[in-house]
């Protein structure tokens, strides 16, 4: 009976009532026994937005859990949809409907349903009295649900309601309300929280201090200290935690640095609890300066000193700034040997170059414990300059030092690789290569060297490997080494290695890199010739062309062309013209020679080889290309593409003496160029002469 | 120094924390234990159900640690788990129903939090406050506020907190990240992760609390609700305990890899669609979800679908670069095109979801006080990404995220979802 009353009430309040609309079908689906229909209704009702609310809201009170839960889910999503500007009216309908379920006469389970949804439905500015009244309900569960709801709503009105409930609440609920206020962080609640910081109940005082902690307002210092000093065993942690958070907040707000440091120092000096003292030291470390160092050192001399060491070392690792570095270096000089071990570890994690000399010295110390700490700290420092110290230990005869150092080198190398710091990674892998004691480490290091070639690695490659081993390495990586050597001014070494590699440039990647390297080593024409590119051509064009025609239109009597012939096109005479490309990669830029769109051009040349030879013609083109060698078609690609090296290849047998090469290159639009080179079947550049 | 850990002081100094973790407020109830380089680590596992039992089995045979305590709100679970450990090791760990008794023990160095999701944050924070190092299963939190509080607690109390995103310790994923970092795939512009749907149905049959189960403690900070086997056994379907279902289950694992590969852990925006279209499917959390994440210079997708496969793989991550694409799952790394010359990498077969190398990394961090591979900050940020997708699904609109402030831009209504109120007396 009560459910029917609620249904009727909600419908009247909202001013709607069931009409013969598609909503009927959806509501029927939501409330029927067909689970597929229910899931469909759950999906589609959300689209109806506010229009669905008068029909769905009453279903929250349905006795069948499948139905009220489905209604709850639909309303959850509608609440999300209508919480945007322009849909305030729909949201209001939802909020009013839910608030109506909080009326005193409604059963508790209806109220709980509404309280679950109200955080999503209640906008800023909306009155929350129905929820606020529940904060004083005799039912403790409802009181608690209302508090949770208001904390999640987080509006000004919600915070006011929580604040206003404090006076009448018992200490346990006061404490819970204050925790809610500490989460909402509304300034107008602070006075109330401040007044309760003097409560007779220690729980309430500690919760009030937590609510005030985020303010960092120095006005509250006496209160915060009093809560801390008057805390009992059950609340001392929360009270001190609040004071330390308060000091953190003072620092973050700025302007009262000394005050905050004073609070940390006060806790350190006056609270004999090691955990509280450690927290204070942590604060000094996170936010302090060089003045924190002597304070912490003094604490280490106290009765609790040994137990404070972990906190002190963590603080040393956190302290920032040149002055703090200097203070720590001074402190290190005065520290006991035991303390030095811990300090070295902490300094390593600072990742600060200022400590590198100290770490390097530690990594050579006669005391084995300090020596090992130094090695680990060098690796932790992540400084490229630490590699030398690690390498020295990795190459020592001391097994333990060696193992630690190799591990450190691996870590650094992997780190640099992951961060793509090429120079540092190359150095780290090189150091690892030199230090590696087993094949697995050596191979991993060499893989790294190949990936990040640096000039210094050249000697490793040349001196450490047999020619057979070198031949197994990817040629592209070796060309990278050549470039590195060249950049380092080691031109002779670069030339030697490059000469050795010329026979192995059998991948497009290697050829691309070689073009770049050789182009820097000498004249571009020479580079092109070394790579087998033909750079001298007779060119005729442009002739009309279309993709549909492909290579089917005969323009120059191909393949039997006469480079002395003349052609007439659009009342203009056209002759073959000589062209020599100066590009190291042999690119013939037809756009510059005979520009046009939807055209083609022909390039003809003669080469000579001393003896009959099997060869491969390799071409790249923008756009299509057809190649005849000695009148025989060997490549045909009717494509629209950018030009790259070695995009196509065709095997040919060259005659001893003169051979002819004819290229037809098409232009569909944009760039227009081609390149052609001759290689042996295994990819090495084929020596030949141009016949001019 | 605690009574149990009177080990050589120089050994401690050699392994003690430096690092960014600021040691702060140590024990709330117990003194922080210090684990030396050669000490056996003494552990408790809180939550002894499905995933908990897998961790227990793996830890029982790990010679770096000793399982000294098991804890579950359901007594039968820790009884059964203790039986198993006793069979495996000959030693029976102590059993507890209330985790507070575990945290009170001064002889426990670390805890594994393998409870339902809604308990992960508070147990982690309380563990830190009790001076324990913590391994917390993913998702590490259910709201952004919780996650940030967890990071703060770890730093404030100087504790090691490892997230249960164990793929960070798997060579197959490390290999994939190495390839991506090498630049051979070119610029990564898109990544995608996918898996199957939720397996949790609707419907609830409330009833009496089973004997031996502390239902109120199971609920903990979540809103009070009557006991039902569907909530207890299928918590991932319910918004109160798990904010996304599969999205916050496999979603964390795979989006963690996406973010690892992209080198970014803060999204710019998120849009999500979802639905439960089968009859009887999905309690609060949808079965099928598709989310689109925007990162600086790239984007990523998440899919959970029925019969979801890409190239025959039922789950995994794809990275798409300007020069090539990479697929990775727990078995293999495949790079295309073949012309890049990167051969398939086949990892070790996964024997259990509890991953011993990830455990060992946690133990190493406990000994050396260095950050673990899945430090709580990173675990939180990976969790955040899928939580934000869940919020976008709830509010039904594209959301822009300010990763620095950890708030949505221009959308205070969406920002309400970043926080949840805890049931008293529990609080962050």
Q: What is the CATH number of the domain that holds B299?
A: 3.30.360.10
Whether residue A346 and residue B19 make contact (CB cut-off 8 A), yes or no, is yes
pLDDT band at residue B291 using 50, 70 and 90 as cut-offs: very high
Q: Is residue B123 part of a domain?
A: yes
**Is A382 strand, coil or helix?**
coil
Among 1.20.1300, 1.10.287, 1.25.40, 1.10.3470, name the CATH number for the domain at A401-525. Answer: 1.25.40
Closest CA to A417 of A407, A427, A403: A427
pLDDT score for A557:
92
Nearest to A65 among B156, B177, B204 (CB): B204
pLDDT, average across residues B250-263? 96
Q: Is residue B7 part of a domain?
A: yes
The pairing of beta strand B188-195 with beta strand A577-580: unpaired
Lowest mean pLDDT across A2-11, A188-197, A212-221: A2-11
What gap in Å lies between CA B201 and CA B289, rounded to an integer?
15
Cβ contacts of A439 within 8 Å, gap of 6 or more = none
pLDDT, average across residues A80-95? 92
Q: Is pLDDT at B20 greater than 70 in this prediction?
A: no
pLDDT band at residue A476 using 50, 70 and 90 as cut-offs: low
pLDDT, average across residues A374-395? 91
Whether residue B395 and residue A372 make contact (CB cut-off 8 A), yes or no, is no
Does residue B205 or residue B398 have the better pLDDT? B398
Whether residue A275 and residue B25 make contact (CB cut-off 8 A), yes or no, is yes
Indicate if B334 and B368 belong to the same structural domain: no
Full domain range(s) for residue B80: 3-167+358-375
pLDDT, average across residues A582-601? 92
Whether residue B10 and residue A46 make contact (CB cut-off 8 A), yes or no, is no
Whether residue A275 and residue B427 make contact (CB cut-off 8 A), yes or no, is no
The pairing of beta strand B41-46 with beta strand A613-622: unpaired
Nearest to B26 among A84, A144, A278 (CB): A278
Residues of B in contact with A64 (CB under 8 A): none
Output the domain CATH number for residue B10: 3.40.50.720
Can you list the pairs that A497-504 forms with residues at least 24 positions away whose Cβ atoms lie under 8 Å?
A: A497/A458, A497/A462, A501/A475, A502/A530, A502/A531, A502/A684, A502/A685, A503/A684, A504/A471, A504/A475, A504/A683, A504/A684
* Beta-carbon pairs below 8 A across chains A and B: 213
**Is A618 strand, coil or helix?**
strand
pLDDT score for B222:
96
**Is A172 strand, coil or helix?**
helix
Indicate if B253 and B307 belong to the same structural domain: yes
Q: Is A679 exposed, middle or buried (0-12, 13-18, 19+ CB in 10 A)?
A: buried
Q: E strands within A30-127?
A: none
Whether residue A180 and residue B25 make contact (CB cut-off 8 A), yes or no, is no
Residues of B in contact with A81 (CB under 8 A): 395-397
pLDDT band at residue B36 using 50, 70 and 90 as cut-offs: low
CB neighbours of residue A58 within 10 Å: 23
pLDDT band at residue A4 using 50, 70 and 90 as cut-offs: very low
Please answer whether residues B227 and B209 qualify as being in contact, where contact means their C-beta atoms are separated by less than 8 angstroms: yes
Please count the structural domains in chain B: 2
Does residue B62 or residue A341 have the better pLDDT? B62
pLDDT score for B76:
96
pLDDT band at residue A436 using 50, 70 and 90 as cut-offs: confident
- CATH class of the domain whose range is A532-690: mainly beta
Nearest to B224 among A76, A141, A347 (CB): A141
Q: Is pLDDT at A584 greater than 90 in this prediction?
A: no
Closest CA to A615 of A688, A511, A675, A525: A688
Lowest mean pLDDT across A5-9, A366-370, A490-494, B268-272: A5-9
- Looking at every residue in chain A, the average pLDDT score rounds to 88
In the numeric block, the tokens 């426990």 are attached to B108
In the numeric block, the tokens 């850990």 are attached to B5
The residue of chain B with its CA nearest to that of A37 is: B279
Q: What is the dihedral of CA A177, A183, A189, A192, to 10 degrees?
A: 40
What gap in Å lies between CA A621 and CA A612, rounded to an integer?
27
Per-residue H/E/C for A260-322: HHHHHHHHHHHCCCHHHHHHHHHHHHHHCCCCHHHHHHHHHCCCCHHHHHHHHHHHHHHCCCH
Helix-strand-coil percent breakdown of chain A, rounded to 5? Answer: 60, 10, 30
Which range has highest mean pLDDT (A151-155, B174-178, B309-313)? A151-155
What gap in Å lies between CA A413 and CA A66, rounded to an integer?
58
Does residue A415 or residue A633 have the better pLDDT? A633
What gap in Å lies between CA A115 and CA B240, rounded to an integer?
14
Whether residue B424 and residue A147 make contact (CB cut-off 8 A), yes or no, is yes
Whether residue A278 and residue B24 make contact (CB cut-off 8 A), yes or no, is yes
What gap in Å lies between CA B254 and CA B329, rounded to an integer?
9
Q: Is pLDDT at A642 greater than 70 in this prediction?
A: yes
Please report, rounded to a whole number, the percentage of residues in chain B having pLDDT higher than 90.
68
pLDDT, average across residues A331-356? 89
B32 vs chain A: nearest CA distance in angstroms?
Answer: 9
Same fold, A401-525 and A532-690: no
pLDDT score for A515:
84
Interface test with A, best of B149, B421, B422 (most A CBs within 10 A): B421
Please answer whether residues B382 and B107 qualify as being in contact, where contact means their C-beta atoms are separated by less than 8 angstroms: no
pLDDT score for B274:
92
pLDDT score for A304:
84
Please answer whether residues B70 and B113 qualify as being in contact, where contact means their C-beta atoms are separated by less than 8 angstroms: no
pLDDT score for A631:
94
In the numeric block, the tokens 């904010």 are attached to B243
Indicate if B148 and B273 belong to the same structural domain: no
In the numeric block, the tokens 């830190």 are attached to B128
Q: Is residue B44 part of a domain?
A: yes
pLDDT, average across residues B353-382? 91
What gap in Å lies between CA A557 and CA A575, rounded to an integer?
14
pLDDT score for B17:
27
Half-sphere exposure of A519 toward its Cβ, with a 13 Å CA cutoff?
Answer: 13
Lowest mean pLDDT across A659-663, B125-129, B416-420: B125-129
pLDDT score for B22:
27
The 10s digit of each residue's pLDDT in A168-201 is 999 999 999 999 999 999 999 999 999 999 999 9
pLDDT score for A477:
67
pLDDT score for A324:
95
Whether residue B23 and residue A147 make contact (CB cut-off 8 A), yes or no, is no
What gap in Å lies between CA A144 and CA A176, rounded to an integer?
9
Q: Is pLDDT at B27 greater than 60 in this prediction?
A: no
Whether residue A418 and residue B181 make contact (CB cut-off 8 A), yes or no, is yes
Which of the 8 DSSP states describes residue A637? E
Nearest to A276 among B25, B183, B396 (CB): B25
Whether residue A183 and residue B419 make contact (CB cut-off 8 A), yes or no, is yes
pLDDT score for B12:
35
Indicate if B126 and B187 belong to the same structural domain: no
Indicate if B195 and B246 belong to the same structural domain: yes
pLDDT, average across residues A201-210? 95
The two structure tokens encoding residue A195: 């007044």
Using alpha carbons only, what angle is made at residue A480 by residues A476 and A482, rounded to the nearest 5 degrees? 115
Residues of B in contact with A346 (CB under 8 A): 17-19
The residue of chain B with its CA nearest to that of A286 is: B22
In the numeric block, the tokens 């200490």 are attached to A171
Please answer whether residues A656 and A609 qualify as being in contact, where contact means their C-beta atoms are separated by less than 8 angstroms: yes
pLDDT score for B16:
33
Q: Is pLDDT at A263 greater than 70 in this prediction?
A: yes
Helix axis angle for A257-270 and A292-300, nearest 10°, is 0
Q: Where along chain A do its domains lie?
A: 401-525, 532-690
Indicate if B242 and B371 belong to the same structural domain: no
Residues of B in contact with A241 (CB under 8 A): 25
Q: Is pLDDT at A8 greater than 80 in this prediction?
A: no
In the structure, how many helices (H) and strands (E) does chain A have?
Answer: 34, 13
What gap in Å lies between CA A311 and CA A458, rounded to an integer?
47
Q: Is residue B393 part of a domain?
A: yes
The two structure tokens encoding residue B240: 């109160």
pLDDT, average across residues A369-382? 92
pTM of the complete model:
0.74
A151 vs chain B: nearest CA distance in angstroms?
Answer: 6
Backbone angles phi, psi at A92, to 5 degrees: -65, -40
What gap in Å lies between CA B232 and CA B250, rounded to an integer?
20
Q: Is pLDDT at B276 greater than 60 in this prediction?
A: yes
Nearest to A314 among B10, B18, B341 (CB): B18
The two structure tokens encoding residue B101: 């008794």
Interface test with A, best of B216, B393, B424, B426 (most A CBs within 10 A): B424
Q: Is pLDDT at B330 greater than 50 in this prediction?
A: yes
Residues of A in contact with B144 (CB under 8 A): none
Which of the 8 DSSP states describes residue A198? T
The 10s digit of each residue's pLDDT in A646-691 is 999 999 999 999 999 999 999 988 889 999 999 999 888 899 999 9
The two structure tokens encoding residue A466: 């047999």
CB neighbours of residue A296 within 10 Å: 24
Helix axis angle for A202-213 and A221-229, nearest 10°, is 140
Q: Edge to edge, what strands does the sheet with A613-622 contain? A: A588-589, A673-679, A613-622, A648-654
pLDDT score for A446:
79
The 10s digit of each residue's pLDDT in B51-87 is 999 999 999 999 999 999 999 999 999 999 999 999 9
pLDDT score for A470:
65
Residues recorded for chain A? 692
A522 vs chain B: nearest CA distance in angstroms?
Answer: 29
- Longest CA–CA span in chain A (Å) reads 113
Indicate if B15 and B134 belong to the same structural domain: yes
Indicate if B240 and B387 belong to the same structural domain: yes
pLDDT band at residue A481 using 50, 70 and 90 as cut-offs: confident
Q: Is residue B424 part of a domain?
A: no
Q: Is residue B423 part of a domain?
A: no
**Is A582 strand, coil or helix?**
coil
Nearest to B425 among A38, A119, A176 (CB): A176
Per-residue H/E/C for chain B: CCHHHCCCHHHHHHHCCCCCCCCCCCCCCCCCCCCCCCCCEEEEEECCCHHHHHHHHHHHCCCCEEEEEEECCEHHHHHHHHHHHHHHHCCCCEEECCHHHHHHCCCCCEEEECCCHHHHHHHHHHHHHCCCEEEECCCCCCCHHHHHHHHHHHHHCCCCEEECCHHHHCHHHHHHHHHHHHCCCCCEEEEEEEECCCCCECCCCCCCCCCCECHHHHHCCCCCCCCCHHHHHCHHHCCCCCCCHHHHCHHHHHHHHHHHHHCCCCCCEEEEEEECCCCCECCCCCCEEEEEEEECCEEEEEEECCCCCECCECCEEEEEECCCEEEECCCEEEEECHHHCCCCEECCCCCCCCCHHHHHHHHHHHHHCCCCCCEHHHHHHHHHHHHHHHHHHHHCCCEEEECCCCEECCCHHHHHHHCCCCCCCCCC
Peptide bond into B337 cis (omega under 30): yes
Q: Is pLDDT at A244 greater than 60 in this prediction?
A: yes
Indicate if B119 and B236 belong to the same structural domain: no
pLDDT score for B9:
36
pLDDT band at residue A306 using 50, 70 and 90 as cut-offs: confident
Handedness of CA A398, A399, A404, A409 (dihedral sign): positive
Closest CA to A344 of A334, A356, A353, A391: A356
Interface test with A, best of B19, B142, B159, B241 (most A CBs within 10 A): B19
Indicate if B7 and B135 belong to the same structural domain: yes
In the numeric block, the tokens 């908990």 are attached to B52
Using alpha carbons only, what angle is made at residue A360 by residues A432 and A345, rounded to the nearest 5 degrees? 95
């Amino acid at each position: 009976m009560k459910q029917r009353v609620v249904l009727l009430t909600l419908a009247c309040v909202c001013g709607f009532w069931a009409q013969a609309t598609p909503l009927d079908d959806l509501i029927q689906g939501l409330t029927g026994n067909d689970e597929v229909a229910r899931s469909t209704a759950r999906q589609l009702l959300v689209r109806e937005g506010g229009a669905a609310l008068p029909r769905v809201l009453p279903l929250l009170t349905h006795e069948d859990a499948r139905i009220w839960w489905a209604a709850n889910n639909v309303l959850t999503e509608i609440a999300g949809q209508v919480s945007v500007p322009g849909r305030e009216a729909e949201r209001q309908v939802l909020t009013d409907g839910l608030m109506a379920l909080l009326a005193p006469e409604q059963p508790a389970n209806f109220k709980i349903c509404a309280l679950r949804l109200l955080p999503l439905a209640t906008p800023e500015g909306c009155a929350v009295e129905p929820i606020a009244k529940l904060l004083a309900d005799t039912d403790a569960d409802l009181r608690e649900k209302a508090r949770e709801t208001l904390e999640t709503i987080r509006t000004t009105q919600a915070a006011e309601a929580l604040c206003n409930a404090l006076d009448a609440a018992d200490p346990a609920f006061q404490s819970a309300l204050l925790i809610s206020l500490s989460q909402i962080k509304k300034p107008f609640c602070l006075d109330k929280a401040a007044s309760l910081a003097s409560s007779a109940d220690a729980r309430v005082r500690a919760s009030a201090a937590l609510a005030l902690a985020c303010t960092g307002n120095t006005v509250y210092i006496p209160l915060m200290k009093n809560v801390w000093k008057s805390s009992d065993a059950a609340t001392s942690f929360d009270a001190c935690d609040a004071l330390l958070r308060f000091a953190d907040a003072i620092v973050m707000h700025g302007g009262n640095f000394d005050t905050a440091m004073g609070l940390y120092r006060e806790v350190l000096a006056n609270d004999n609890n090691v955990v509280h003292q450690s927290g204070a030291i942590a604060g000094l470390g996170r936010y302090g300066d060089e003045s924190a160092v002597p304070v912490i050192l003094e604490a280490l001399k106290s009765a609790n000193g040994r137990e404070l060491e972990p906190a002190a070392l963590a603080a040393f690792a956190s302290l920032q700034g040149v002055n703090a570095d200097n203070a720590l270096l001074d402190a290190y000089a005065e520290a006991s040997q035991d303390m030095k071990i811990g300090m070295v570890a902490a300094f390593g994690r600072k990742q600060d170059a200022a400590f590198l000399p100290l770490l390097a010295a530690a990594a050579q110390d006669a005391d084995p414990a300090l020596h090992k700490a130094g090695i680990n700290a060098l690796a932790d420092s992540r400084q490229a300059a630490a590699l030398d110290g690690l390498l020295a230990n990795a190459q020592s005869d001391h097994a333990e030092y060696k193992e630690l150092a190799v591990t450190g080198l691996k870590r650094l190398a992997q780190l640099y690789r992951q961060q793509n710091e090429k120079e540092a990674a190359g150095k780290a892998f090189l150091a690892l290569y030199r230090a590696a004691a087993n094949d697995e480490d050596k191979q991993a290091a060499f893989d790294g060297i190949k990936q990040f070639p640096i000039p210094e690695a050249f000697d490793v490659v040349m001196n450490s490997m047999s020619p057979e081993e070198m031949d197994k390495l990817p040629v592209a990586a070796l060309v990278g080494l050549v470039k590195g050597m060249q950049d380092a001014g080691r031109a002779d070494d670069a030339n030697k290695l490059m000469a050795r590699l010329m026979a192995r440039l059998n991948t497009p990647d290697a050829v691309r890199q070689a073009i770049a390297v050789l182009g820097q080593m000498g004249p571009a024409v020479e580079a092109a010739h070394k790579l087998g590119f033909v750079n001298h051509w007779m060119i005729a064009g442009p002739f009309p062309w279309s993709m549909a025609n492909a290579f089917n239109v005969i323009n120059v009597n191909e393949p039997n062309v006469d480079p002395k012939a003349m052609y007439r096109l659009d009342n203009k005479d056209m002759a073959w013209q000589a062209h020599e490309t100066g590009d190291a990669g042999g690119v013939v830029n037809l756009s510059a020679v005979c520009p046009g769109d939807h055209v083609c051009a022909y390039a003809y040349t003669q080469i000579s080889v001393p003896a009959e030879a099997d060869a491969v013609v390799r071409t790249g083109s923008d756009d299509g290309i057809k190649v005849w060698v000695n009148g025989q078609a060997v490549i045909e690609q009717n494509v629209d593409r950018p030009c790259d090296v070695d995009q196509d290849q065709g095997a040919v047998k060259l005659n001893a003496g003169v051979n002819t090469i004819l290229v037809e290159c098409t232009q569909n639009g944009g760039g227009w160029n081609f390149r052609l080179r001759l290689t042996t079947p295994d990819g090495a550049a084929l020596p030949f002469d141009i016949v001019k | 120094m605690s009574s149990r850990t009177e080990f050589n002081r120089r050994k401690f100094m050699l392994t003690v924390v430096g690092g960014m973790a600021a040691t702060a407020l140590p024990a709330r109830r117990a003194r922080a234990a210090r684990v030396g380089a050669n000490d056996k680590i003494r552990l408790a596992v809180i939550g002894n159900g499905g995933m908990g039992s897998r961790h227990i089995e793996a830890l029982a045979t790990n010679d770096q640690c000793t399982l000294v305590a098991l804890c579950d709100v359901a007594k039968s679970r820790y009884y059964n788990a203790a039986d198993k450990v006793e069979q495996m090791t000959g030693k029976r760990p102590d059993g507890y129903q209330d985790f507070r008794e575990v945290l009170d023990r001064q002889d426990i160095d670390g805890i594994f939090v393998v409870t339902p999701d809604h308990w992960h944050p508070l147990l982690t924070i309380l563990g830190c406050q009790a001076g324990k190092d913590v391994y917390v299963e993913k998702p590490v939190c259910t709201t952004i506020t919780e996650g940030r509080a967890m990071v703060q607690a770890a730093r404030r109390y100087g504790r090691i907190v490892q997230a249960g995103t164990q793929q960070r310790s798997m060579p197959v994923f490390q290999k994939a990240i190495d390839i991506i970092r090498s630049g051979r795939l070119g610029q990564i512009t898109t990544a995608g992760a996918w898996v199957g749907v939720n397996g949790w149905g609707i419907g609830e049959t409330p009833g009496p609390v089973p004997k031996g189960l502390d239902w109120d403690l199971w609920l903990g900070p979540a809103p009070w609700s009557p006991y039902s086997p569907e909530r207890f056994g299928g918590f991932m379907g319910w918004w109160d305990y798990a904010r996304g279902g599969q999205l916050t289950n496999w979603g964390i694992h795979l989006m963690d890899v996406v973010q690892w590969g992209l080198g970014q852990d803060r999204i710019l925006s998120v849009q999500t669609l979802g639905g439960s279209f089968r009859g009887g499917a999905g309690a609060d959390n949808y079965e099928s979800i598709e989310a689109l994440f925007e990162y600086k210079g790239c984007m990523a997708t998440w899919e959970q679908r029925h019969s979801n496969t890409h190239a025959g793989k039922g789950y995994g991550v794809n990275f798409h670069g300007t020069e090539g694409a990479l697929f990775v799952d727990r078995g293999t790394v495949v790079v295309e095109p073949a012309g890049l010359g990167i051969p398939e990498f086949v990892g070790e077969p996964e024997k259990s979801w509890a991953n011993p190398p990830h455990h060992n990394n946690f133990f190493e961090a406990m000994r050396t006080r260095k950050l673990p591979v899945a430090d709580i900050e990173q675990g939180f940020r990976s969790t955040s990404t899928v939580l934000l997708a869940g919020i976008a699904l709830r509010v039904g609109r594209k959301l822009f995220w300010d990763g620095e402030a950890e708030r949505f831009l221009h959308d205070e209504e969406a920002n309400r979802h970043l926080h949840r109120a805890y049931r008293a007396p529990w609080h962050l």
